[in-house]
Amino acid sequence: MYQWRRKYVRTNKSGVIPTLTANQGEGGHNVCIINAKHGIRKMTPLECFYTQGFPKTFIIPKELSDAKLYKQAGNSVCVTVIERIAKEIMKALVLYK
């Protein structure tokens, strides 16, 4: 995993995908880049949604441009984080009763 940082490419040594930003589709900085079989490429919008924890069954709207999809993925919240928060809220509510 690499990151496009406006004027250079930075190697991501942490092994963790960096924060997705809403301006990825508009040429903003911090664009996630993958070293694939056929060379370096930008993550696809669908890969960005998967990174955010969306299920493999998630279908992206065909009528939206990639720029809009990158923006939506970057503005979304991580599904697994929200699930964990919701479980903790449920535990707290049960204890409260």
Q: Is the dihedral angle over the CA atoms 24, 29, 32, 38 positive or is it negative? A: positive
Whole-number pLDDT of residue 86: 95
More confident residue, 81 or 28: 81
Whole-number pLDDT of residue 23: 74
Structure confidence by residue, pLDDT tens digits, 19-75: 777 777 666 666 777 888 888 888 889 998 998 899 999 999 899 998 899 889 888
Q: Is the pTM of this model over 0.85?
A: no
* The domain defined by 2-96 carries CATH number 3.90.120.10: yes
- Domain borders along the chain are 2-96
